[in-house]
Structures are given as structure tokens and as C-alpha cells.
Chains A and B, each alone.
Chain A
Amino acid sequence: MCLGIPGQVVELLDSHEHLARVEVSGVGRVVNIGLLEDEQLAPGNWVLIHVGFAMSKIDEDEARRALEGLELMGRAYVEEIDAFASSQIEIDLPEEVRAWE
């Protein structure tokens, strides 16, 4: 959970939800970029991701270093990437949900 994993922004999604599609080691997932709103992120930018949130903008060189460092971590890194791959944060609120409220 404390491992920051470097990802590259591929596409900015719905601006209200502050979501972006990012790619981490070939795995594409959606993360929240709202905490970096002041950074004016654009496709191609690199970010460090913690628990589904981009927490800092980094340059490509730092992303590469961070990734190399993480790969050396072995199991902890594999588990983090697996966890990341399992994540699905987009909420498409269906009508029935509103009915439950």
C-alpha cells in the first residue's frame, strides 16, 4: 500500500470525476488524478500512484528509476501490480442504485 508505482497517463477521462487512464508496466487502469489538479496533467506525463490516486508528478527518468527499484523488490512488487490490475474504480451509477437509497 505504501509502494508508489510509476504510471504514464494515457488518456484523461471525465473531468468531474478527475479520472485518467494510466499504464503501469503494460497494465492499463483508471486512477484518480484530482490531487494533482494544479499540475495540468496531459497524456504522456508520468505520475506516482498510491492506492488508485496519482500523488505526484514525476519525470520520465524518475519513473524509470522508480520502476527499476520496484522490480528489484520481487514479490512485494508483483503483489502491488496484481492489486493494481484488480482495481476498477469507475462508477457507472445504475438507476437501481438510486432506488435503494
Chain B
Amino acid sequence: MRFVDEYRDPRAARSILDRIVELAGDDHFKFMEVCGGHTHTIYRHGIEHVLPEGVELVHGPGCPVCVIPMGRIDDAIAVAETPGVVFTSFGDMLRVPGGHGSLMDAKARGADVRFVYSPLDALRIASETPEQVVFFAVGFETTAPSTAVTLLRARDLGLTNFSVFCNHVTIVPPIKAILESPDLRLDGFLGPGHVSTVVGNRPYRFVPEQYGKPLVTTGFEPLDILHGIMMLLRQIREGRCEVENQYTRVVRDEGNPRALAVLAEVFELRPHFEWRGLGFISQSALKLRPEFAAFDAELRYSVPGVRVADPKACQCGEVLKGVIKPWECKVFGTACTPETPIGTCMVSSEGACAAYYNFGRLHREAAVTLGRRG
């Protein structure tokens, strides 16, 4: 268990692992970690190599950069290339390829595309310029409240040159879609940590109640991940099936009521939204309520709104559904690298392919050299 020595508390890690080995016995378990942050930790710390053979982790759809479909990137570029527009975005989104290149390419062609850390940075830019400022909003419930607060602030300030191209998505529908998918047999979920600080643990109850799978909301340290896996196995062995919270240090059952209230005030559900790899999922994304129409970039600008198929070589869809591992994609590490991404999963550090490219391969090689879990 060489990798364990690098963990913050190797003794605790070893004892949790012993318990995992004992609980797993000779059976095979497949658990999905929903969140890209988990995927990153798992590859960064070689967690899959310290787990017993019978406990397999598959990556889920919880990386917001990864799930945005090509067509929406093209829409973003169309807005960015509108004369007089300053287009603002989180850094990761600038490199995501659409059907006609990325926002970076649009910038190179002369569009005014700027990187921002926060939607409030975009709002500040709008307060300082007469030009139209558009913010490219992406993310799950972790970042959606920030966009909502920013829109309320824009309204209070009476700014007429600020709008949002809204691509916020919600966490529950894709989990449901995966549970409905015939491709995958799962035994339980490591629930997302940060999203749950906003939504709480209650929205996941359908997972045990309707689908008979346990879910444990889990933190981001290696020890958290191991602990979450142990809690899943313990539920199964004790014949329980429920939502449990491993990350009580940060996540409360009721979530953050204020953030939820702000979300409800500013956004409503879209009837449909396309997810990369998962296709159209109903009521899975947010749009601005009619009261905020003046701030809605989709209404202000003409966006093509065309569905663009993923490149043939790209297997992000299968990666996002947990059907294949990153290294099983044919272009992984050859045509598709973090420097020249073909698919979204190679762009964000929380994308499974980028996380595996940056860290996982080394652990895998080390594990092979040392003999598995040597």
C-alpha cells in the first residue's frame, strides 16, 4: 500500500482500507463518483490502486465544463462575435472546442473575450464600460446561486448593458438518467460534496427509494473518498439502503436555504437541455425567469441554437456515463491531450480524461511496477 503513505493520515487510511477489504469480501462492486472533484482526487492519489480488485469506481457526469454540448459553445461564440460585445467566461470554458473552434479561437479572430474569476467581475466590467457585457454562466448548483445574486445586483444597479448566457445545470436529473441507462450496472453513488452544500442531502432520496441504490455524500480528501466507499459497503452489508452524509463537516441535510431561495427567485427549469453524452434530459437545466428577460443573452442575441454532433473520434459521452475509462478512448493521449483537447473531458482539471492524463497514468505505471497494491 505504497500510495497510502502519502495520505494525510496513513494510519487512518490503512484501517479504513482494511475495513473495505473485509466488507467487500469476494464480491464485485461498482460505485459511481458523481463529482469531477472526486475524480480528480481519485486519480491524483491513485485511490483505484489501493482498493481491492472487487471495488471499482466509475466516473460520473459531475464536471460542468465536460457536459456542455458542442452546440452551446458555438452559440457562445456567436454571441462573443457580435459587434460591441464583451464576452466574459471562466477560464476553463475558453478552451472547450465547439463545432467551429473554441472561444480562444474567437478571441484570436478579434472577438473581445475576457476571462473572469466571478460573475461579479463581469458585472464590475459592465459598470465600467458602455459596451454590452455578457457572462457565460456554467456550473451546477455550486455556482448557479452566484449567477443569481449577480443578476439581482445588476437589476438593483439598473445596469442595461449586462446579460447572462445561462447554461446552469442541475445535479439530480443526470443521476436519474444514469440510473435509467441500460449500459451500466451500479451498486451505489458517492454523492457530490460542494453541490450538496447548496441542495443538501434530501434531493437524493429517490436514489435509494426508487432505484434501490445507496448514496453517500462525500468530501474531497483521499480519506473522505475511502470513508465514503466504506459507508456504501457497510450499508449494503447491513441490508440498508439510504442517503448518508460522510461530509458532515461542510454539508447539511437542508443545504443552504438562502442559496436555494435565490435560485428560485431568478431561475426556472428549462423543459429540455442537451448534455454531452447523455443527450436531451428534461428539466435538467436552468433559464432566467421572464422577469429577468432583459438580462437574458439568449433573448438579446441571435444564437444559432443548432445541435452539433460530437466529433467521430470523441468518446466523451461514454466517459461521462462511466461506460468506458479515459484510457479506453481511441484518441486519448494521442490526438486528444490537455494542450489540444478534442473532447471536453480533457479540458477541465476535473474532467476524467485530464485528471487521468495528468496523474492517473503515473499511478497506474507505478502500480504495475510495484505489483498491484504491492
Q: Give chain A's interface residues, CB within 8 Å of chain B.
A: 1-4, 17, 32, 34-38, 48, 50-53, 55-56, 58-59, 62, 65-66, 68-69, 72-76, 79, 83-84, 86-91, 93-94, 97, 100-101
Chain A residues with CB below 8 A from B358, complex form: 74-75
Known interface pairs A50-B142, A65-B8, A76-B40. Does A90 touch B259 (Cβ–Cβ under 8 Å)? Answer: no
Q: Least Cβ distance of A50 to chain B in Å? A: 6
User: Nearest-CB distance from B276 to chain A (Å)?
Assistant: 16
Chain B residues near A91 (CB-CB < 8 A): 123-124, 127, 157
Q: Does B367 contact A (CB under 8 A)?
A: no
Residues 51-70 of B, flagged 1 when their CB comes within 8 A of A and 0 if not, give 00000000000011100000
Question: Judging by beta carbons under 8 Å apart, are B90 and A1 in contact?
Answer: yes
Residue of A1, A35, A79, A93 touching B259 (CB-CB under 8 A): A35
Contact of A97 among B119, B128, B250, B256 (CB under 8 A): B128
Residues of B within 8 A of A90 (CB): 124
Q: Does chain A have a CB within 8 A of B221?
A: yes
Given A3-B37, A62-B250, A76–B194 Cβ distance below 8 Å?
Answer: no
Question: Are the CB atoms of A55 and B197 closer together than 8 Å?
Answer: yes
Q: Is the CB of A69 within 8 A of B258?
A: no
Q: Which of B35-80 contact A (CB under 8 A)?
A: 35-37, 40-41, 44-45, 63-65
| Closest chain B residue, CB of each to CB of A50 | B142
Instruction: Check if A50 sits within 8 Å of B220, measured CB to CB.
Output: no
The reply to whether the CB of B158 lies closer than 8 angstroms to some CB of chain A is yes
B118 touching A52, Cβ below 8 Å = yes
Determine which of B8, B45, B118 lies in contact with A89 in the assembled complex, contact meaning CB atoms within 8 Å: B118
A-B contact pairs, 28 of them (CB 8 A): A1-B90, A1-B138, A2-B36, A2-B142, A2-B194, A2-B350, A4-B194, A35-B262, A36-B258, A50-B142, A51-B146, A55-B142, A55-B194, A55-B197, A55-B198, A65-B8, A69-B8, A69-B41, A69-B220, A84-B117, A87-B116, A87-B121, A88-B121, A91-B157, A93-B127, A100-B130, A100-B161, A101-B159
